[in-house]
Amino acid sequence: MNAAGNWEALKTIVFREVNRILRIWGQTLVPPAITMTLYFAIFGNLIGSRIGQMNGMRYIDFIVPGLIMMAVIQSSYGNIVSSFFGSKFQRFIEELLVSPTPNWVILTGYVLGALARGVMVGVIVLVVAMCFTDIRLHHPLVTVVTLLLTSVMFAFAGFINAVYAKKFDDIAIVPTFILTPLTYLGGVFYSVSLLPPFWEKVSHLNPVLYMVNAFRYGLLGVSDVPLATAFAVMFAATIALGAFSMHLLIKGRGLRA
Amino acid sequence: MTQLALSIRGLQKTYDNGIVALRGIDLDVAAGDFFALLGPNGAGKSTTIGIITSLVNRSAGSVKVFGHDLGTEREAALSCVGVVPQEINFNQFEKPFDIVSNQAGFYGLPRKLARERAEKYLKQLSLWDKAEVAARTLSGGMKRRLMIARAMVHEPRLLILDEPTAGVDIEIRRSMWQFVQSINAAGTTVILTTHYLEEAESLCRNIAIIDRGVIVENTSMKMLLGKLDRESLILDLADPIDVCPDIGIVQLKRVDATTLEADVPKGTSLNELFDALAKTGIRVRSLRNKANRLEELFLSLVERGPGDAK
């Protein structure tokens, strides 16, 4: 297809994904708002007021960036893994595979769909957070780029999970046993500087740590890791996961016999 | 020279589990043809269609669609093809209008044109009143028609129908065939696989029979049916008989008191048969073919096996 045809195909995939997100808003947009309201109320207000300060700021202010990142990561990953696996399971992915839509357009369309949900959820959680505390953007560009990059990165990761998944259990294993522990241990609720030196070093192997801290820098101006390192890790991981996703699509892994 | 809608050379497919589905088939389908691709279950029909539509990766060989090589000009080749698969493969939670118009988008049609085409084909396939309901609520026949509308929305030059009438009642089947015949008459090449051989016989001009990954016959329907050297007729008799008569020119078998089965060699006149029966006092009230003619040939070809293929 020519560029205009590819653009139409891309728009179609993205609109279909966004329509799906809005059609089942009770599953896609509301749960993060409820969960994060509870986090802010319990950990932020009730427990946080007794914890005191973290990295020189109120505990509730400290956890806001991490909780927004956590919601964005889970939403981006969850959107693409359930949507793409669902299309495989019901076989309507064949609608795309038999068409002349190039593989890169298919991948971009699904990733943009996941990004759309990540951003929607990020904004919703930000609004919820504003009900509990004052938020001022320390560095808007860092905040926005980190949000987008994290969402894209976990969209690729979710895509890879969906490609390999053969049953619904397979799309729950990674979020439960890998994604959630990485997020909780990625400095959402604490500064890694509180950890013993060994565990602090181990924490630096966790890619979520860099996203949470880059986002925290964007919102609050503090970070446990250098900003350049955080962006280098995020860019490298995004490129690696994107390249591998494309490779799987070209090979037709789990899609073409 | 006739333009080829489809040209397959040396196509082979061995699945990861070691099953050899295609053993190097060659197949040409002329542009504008209504072509039957028949074969028993597991013969390789769906694998062939899967390769043409890029759902199955081939092990060796080449496929060209209207001159576009699937290996080197994938997008151009796929732009020419529309496919109606055996199994329902649309999003059951979407509306028919969205399913069809989105498919047009995947072929690069602008949104406005996509919506116009979706309306056109949903109307032609009598689904317009269901355009905004959830697809899962459609009946089996409607779902089949929806898949035809979806396959036609980019107006392909080659339409592949993989057992489209399986489980569909006669009335809907007839209306589907009327539609497909009309688009074939308008120039769309049609390739049909079906287990209803009378459909293939009445609709298709050319035919290939595939068995165990090998094309065992590839000719015109007329030529193939001309190969039939005998025909089995069922004769319903006006009066009951106790003993099967011997009339010489045709071998008869008594099925029951009022039914005879006649094994009629090609070239035997039915008048001769009726005269011979009349001489023995038998009056025939009606007659019919024991089996579809194509069915008899089909069974003889696939029972013979690919090793005997010419």
The predicted-structure confidence for A135-171, as pLDDT tens digits, reads as follows: 788 889 999 999 999 999 999 999 999 999 988 888 8
How buried is residue B229: exposed, middle or buried, by Cβ count under 10 Å (0-12/13-18/19+)?
exposed
**Structure confidence at residue B308 (pLDDT):** 46
Q: Which residues pair with B210 in a beta bridge?
A: B215
Predicted pLDDT at B307: 47
Residue A233 CA: distances (Å) to CA of A66, A200, B239? 17, 17, 93
pLDDT of res. A17 = 94
Contacts of A254 (CB under 8 A, 6+ apart): A88, A163, A164, A165, A166, A248
- pLDDT of A100 over the 60 cut: yes
The count of domains in chain A is 1
Which residues of chain A lie closer than 8 angstroms to B55, CB-CB? 94, 97-98, 256-257
Q: Is residue B144 part of a domain?
A: yes
- For residues B105 and B21, membership in a common domain is answered with yes
Answering whether pTM is above 0.95, one says no
pLDDT for residue B223 = 74
Residues B209 and B102 in one domain: yes
Find the chain A residues whose C-beta atoms sit closer than 8 A to any C-beta of B.
Answer: 1-2, 4-6, 8-9, 11-13, 16, 19, 23, 87, 90-92, 94-102, 252, 256-257
**Which string of DSSP letters, residue by residue, matches chain A?**
--HHHHHHHHHHHHHHHHHHHHHTHHHHTHHHHHHHHHHIIIIIIIIHHHH-EETTEEHHHHHHHHHHHHHHHHHHHHHHHHHHHHHHHTTTTHHHHTSS--HHHHHHHHHHHHHHHHHHHHHHHHHHHHTTS----S-HHHHHHHHHHHHHHHHHHHHHHHHH--SHHHHHHHIIIIIHHHHHTTTSSS-GGGS-HHHHHHHTT-HHHHHHHHHHHHHHS--SS-HHHHHHHHHHHHHHHHHHHHHHHHHTTTT--
- The verdict on B213 and B243 lying in the same domain is no
Residues (pLDDT < 70) of chain B are 1-2, 226, 228-229, 291-297, 299-310
B56/A256 Cβ within 8 A = yes
Torsion of CA B170, B190, B48, B291, to 10 degrees: 40
Amino acid at position B6, single letter: L
Q: List, in sequence order, the alpha helices (H) in B2-95.
A: 45-52, 74-79
Is B308 part of a structural domain of the chain? no
Q: Is residue A107 domain-resident?
A: yes
Res B240: pLDDT: 87
- For residue B29, what are the domain limits? 4-226
Q: What average pLDDT is seen over chain A?
A: 90
Residues in chain B: 310
Residue B15 and residue A92: Cβ atoms within 8 Å? no
* Contacts A–B by Cβ distance under 8 A: 90
Q: Is B175 in the same domain as B206?
A: yes
Domain CATH number, residue B220 = 3.40.50.300
Binary contact (A9, B57; C-beta < 8 A) = no
Cβ neighbours of B54 in A, within 8 Å: 97-98, 256
B49 lies in a domain?
Answer: yes
Residue B299 Cα, gap to closest chain A Cα (Å): 29
Beta-carbon separation of B87 and A91 below 8 A: yes
Report the pLDDT value the prediction gives residue B310, as an integer from 0 to 100: 39
Given B194, B226, B258, the domain boundary residue is B226
Q: Retrieve residue B64's tokens.
A: 């060209």
pLDDT at position A102 is: 93
Same domain, B132 and B155: yes
Q: What is the pLDDT of residue B40?
A: 82
> Which tokens sit at A53?
């300060």
Of A23, A92, A256, the CB nearest to B55: A256
Report the gap between the CA of B58 and the closest CA in chain A (Å): 9
Q: Is the pLDDT of residue A220 over 60?
A: yes
Q: Which residues from chain B sit within 8 angstroms of residue A96, using beta carbons? A: 106
Q: Which tokens is A120 given?
A: 């929607």
**In the predicted model, is pLDDT for residue A246 greater than 90?**
yes
B172 with B288, same domain?
Answer: no
Looking at chain B, which residue has its C-alpha nearest residue A10?
A: B106
Shared-domain flag, residues B10 and B129: yes
Residues B102 and B162 grouped into a single domain: yes
Q: Which domain holds residue A47?
A: 3-251
In the three-class reduction of DSSP (H, G, I as helix; E, B as strand; rest coil), residue B152 is classed as helix
Q: Which of B89, B105, B109 sits opposite A92 (nearest CB)?
A: B89
Name the phi and psi angles at B166, rounded to 5. Answer: -60, 125
B9 part of a folded domain = yes
The verdict on B218 and B244 lying in the same domain is no
Q: Do A100 and B102 touch (CB under 8 A)?
A: no
Q: Is residue B301 part of a domain?
A: no
Q: Establish if B245 belongs to a structural domain.
A: yes
Q: Say which of B87, B92, B107 has its CB closest to residue A100.
A: B107
Q: Is the predicted pLDDT of residue A196 greater than 60, yes or no? A: yes
CA-to-CA distance for B4 and B223, rounded, in angstroms? 20
CATH of the domain at B289: 3.30.70.1560
- Whether B307 maps to a domain, the answer reads no
Residue of B nearest to A251 (CA): B57
State which of B168, B199, B226 marks the end of a domain. B226
Structure tokens at B242: 């106790």
Domain for residue A196, yes or no?
A: yes
B187 and B236 housed in the same domain: no
What pLDDT is stored for residue B107 in this prediction?
Answer: 95
| Total number of domains in chain B | 2
Q: What is the pLDDT of residue B309?
A: 41
- Alpha carbon distance A227, A233 (integer Å): 10
User: What pLDDT is stored for residue B85 in this prediction?
Assistant: 92
Which of A98, A110, A251, A255 should one mutate to test binding to chain B, selecting the residue with the greatest count of B CBs within 10 A?
Answer: A98
Q: Are residues B26 and B145 in the same domain?
A: yes
Q: Where are the beta strands (DSSP E) in B31-137?
A: 34-38, 60-65, 68-69, 81-84
pLDDT score of A53 more than 50: yes
- Give first-to-last CA distance, chain B, whole Å: 25
Strands (E), B20-157: 20-30, 34-38, 60-65, 68-69, 81-84
C-beta of residue A124 within 8 angstroms of C-beta of residue A32: yes
Q: Is A257 inside any structural domain?
A: no
Instruction: Quote the ipTM score.
Output: 0.84
* Domain boundary pick from B226, B244, B262: B226
Query: Is A165 domain-assigned?
Result: yes
Residue A256 within a domain: no
In a domain, B246, yes or no: yes
Q: State whether B125 and B264 are in the same domain.
A: no
